[in-house]
Amino acid sequence: MRAISLRTEHMINPLGLQTANPTLSWNCAGGTAQTAYQITASSGGNTVWDSGRVASSRMSARYGGPAAGARQQIEWRVTLWDENGTPGQPESAWFEMGLTDGSWQAKWIDPELPHDANTRQPASVLRKTFFANTTENARLYITCHGLYKATLNGAAAHSFVYAPGTDDYRKRVQVQVYDVTGLLRPGENELIVTLGDGWYRGNNGVDGLYNYYGSDLALLCQLEAGGQVLCCSDGNWEASQSGPVRLNDMEKGEQYDARMEKICDWHGVTVRDHGYDALCCSDSVPVLEQERFPGKLLKTPNGETVIDFGQNLAGYTELRVHAKAGQKITLWHGETLDEHGNFTQSNFDPGERNKNGGIPQRIDYICKDGLNVYKPSFSYFGFRYAKVETDADLSDAAFTAIAVYSEMLQTGFFSCGNEYVNRLFLNTLWSMRSNFCDIPTDCPTRERAGWTGDAAAFAPTGVYLADCYPVLRKWLAECRLAQGEDGLVANIAPPNNSGSFISNLLQGSSGWGDACILVPWALYEAYGDRAILEENYEMMTKWLSFVEKRAQKTRIQNLLNPYRKYLVDKGFHFGEWLEPDVSSMDTMKKNMMTGAPEVATAYYCKSAGLLTRIAEILGKSEDAQKYGAIADGARNAYRYTSTKDGAISSKRQAEYVRPIAFGLLDEEESQIAADRLAAMIAANDYHLNTGFLSTPFLCRVLSDHGHADTAYRLLLQDTAPSWLYPVKHGATTVWESWDGVREDGTVHDSLNHYSYGAVSGWLMGDVCGIRLSEGKLTIAPKPSRALAHAEAKWLSPVGIIESKWHYEQQQVVFEVTIPANVAAEIRLPNGNTVEVKPGFHVFSIKA
């Protein structure tokens, strides 16, 4: 038996870690069951840790040697013993620490000359020539205020797009480390760094807030080789604002003049005292260029030239064109065509709310003579289409859309006998890719914000689809930074709101703030790494204390509730949000008046229940007892206010789904509620009317209570509101609203929101039945002739899991693959159960 898929902090050979005692993990291959492991770690040829032979089937361990120091590279080797006590060949991986000891010789340098902070500036180009007498183990440590793009001797020093990433830069600035050994040469070298505005001082969020984190640009970098500092940012650098990037903004776009690529005028820089306290190394993955989609030119009815890339995505356009100097190409990026077949951006236009020019997603490119090849460096768009305005000849031009998102291996795969459902699954995957750019966001066009509610609703599905642990972990760190002293969890992290009275009033919504518990739990269930619980435990407890204090005050209409100290009817809450036949504004007004106790108290109970289990896992028995009592009290408060002795009387599907999914009803009551829910859906012609919070649970609640047929009819419904309505209307991503393109062709709202794509979690976890929770694997498929056949594969944290089924006359044939070292329980629809002992197994079962 040997170890495969070795990871450090759930990344492959990470360079520049902050965590000094990281989690080391692996999968098993070539045997049945792991009975023991041994990890040895070395640095500089010396052994720094030996775990000894540990009798355990666990496929992870915390690095147990002395805390890894700055710059230290540690190679770790793991040997596994199989069920016969036979050791396999050791396998190795490594990790390297960042500059964690604060030993910076570099200074923060400002490349700009004095200017009006409210006037947009060109990108700044900085350069330094230096001499190298060694090229051994060359490392570039770098960060900035803004975004950076570095080259060494004319070659790109990194593939990270939009580095150093997004943060609340007032509290944390991440430093990246790059191996530049292959670029450094003996003798003279030149390091060039271009700085753009980015999230730091460019337009942020739907309001287009400018200079949100600061009005300056600044660079901090240090290049080392062979134990020497060869080059660092200091007062000897040169800078220029006469380069080709004349304007850059993540939302507005980029202006680029190719005639200015050769810079002739340079000036000095200014050393600034920004300090080093906010610096931390990156424990996450880079944002990278990924898939490429060639565009097709078309003429719209109004005579415009538009490029169709065939896939809605987030990223930017690359152009290749022969032109004459001074000719101009303007590209406007949008998600769809309007009802007349013409280009539009109306669905994400923020209107007067945005005070800094809106979100035009525009490229203005001025050509040089000959071949022009260009793609933006500091802009990011959500689009499928681009409108072209130019005086250049496009007869030999090529336009390519480049998808840009965090490095995440696709881990979830699904297909069935219905091509629309297959497309729905792909749409979910593409909306996830489009919105996991360093952190999870709501959409890549209008808001581009790290909304907590979106991540909470989607995380259990996201862990199926892609290896997203590092991205979500980084974002949770942002949530911790954004949490108030009173425990309030901000709706958006990192923040990008105005901080106005209204903005502050809308913070701390139930279902949104609860993401600080729901997301770490989703990661723990899939990955089994208690470090994610330890890291976020203080944030979780502070949030629950905040809700507990909120519950101490009760509105007059609920004073007779004997459990009112556990009832949450104060504060602002978005509620179910975006129910298809309900006005969101009317919902907000109602919730301002009533406090949305049905939603808020349910989430209080859910979060307290999860925190009880988390405290047990972390060995905090007193906390577990405390939170268990809160969960019981909130459950009673909910039942008193929102049910009549466990019976629900509501016309809203969400008010059945939520109490069933959150365990607020007993078993018999849940079955009665599920029966009533199924009947309501049938009476609604098999359409859903759930919103943002309960839709992820809808099909599972039905299929877990004997109504899989209703769940399948909901899945296959193709008139709005439904999952397949967008697919039938040509969607290649998941929409924010069920009818983002109406029957008459008019468009509204974002067409790239992953939240409703959470149904793909049901495809993986219920249609094909793959569920992994705290290391326990269950395969419980729920087949239906409505799909004819289905298969799912999950490259899970414990290995490759596959579940397939198809019909042969009156029987269903199941094929299941269980990875080595994993026990499983296979539950068949006829009620039979197969217990599978650890080991690699492939089953074919007829039932």
Name the residues annotated as catalytic: 447, 736
| Among 631, 628, 623, 626, residue whose Cα is nearest residue 606 | 631
Residue 101 — φ and ψ, nearest 5°? -100, 5
Q: How far apart are CA 448 and CA 382, in angstroms?
A: 10
Q: Which residues of 779-813 are buried (b: 16+ CB within 10 A; e: fewer)?
A: bbbbbbebbebbbbbbbbbbbbbbbbbbeeeeebe
DSSP three-state, residue 608: helix
- Identify the bridge partners of residue 222 per DSSP, sorted by sequence position: 141, 232
Whether the CB-CB separation of 292 and 333 falls below 8 Å is answered with no
Q: Which of 697, 762, 798, 839 is nearest to 467 (CA)?
A: 798
Measured distance CA(200)–CA(230) in Å, rounded? 29
How many other C-beta atoms are found inside a 10 Å radius of the C-beta of residue 842?
9
Distance CA 680, CA 137 (A): 66
* Helical residues (DSSP H) of 300-400, grouped into ranges: none
In this structure, the strands spanning 343-344 and 73-81 are: unpaired
Main-chain phi, psi angles of 541, to 5 degrees? -70, -35
* Closest C-alpha to 146, from 98, 191, 202: 202
Report the alpha-carbon distance of residue 458 to residue 695 in Å, rounded: 10
User: How far apart (Å, rounded) are the C-alpha atoms in residues 499 and 212?
Assistant: 11
Residue 638 to residue 651: CA distance in whole angstroms: 18
Judge whether 695 and 758 are in contact, CB under 8 Å.
yes
User: What string of DSSP letters covers 418-453?
Assistant: -HHHHHHHHHHHHHHHHHEESEE-S-TTTT---BHH
SS3 content of the chain, % helix, strand, coil (to 5): 25, 30, 45
Instruction: Name 560's Cβ contacts closer than 8 Å, sequence gap at least 6.
Output: none
- CB of 154 closer than 8 Å to CB of 148: no
Cβ(255)–Cβ(247) below 8 Å = yes
**Token output for 187:** 């003798």
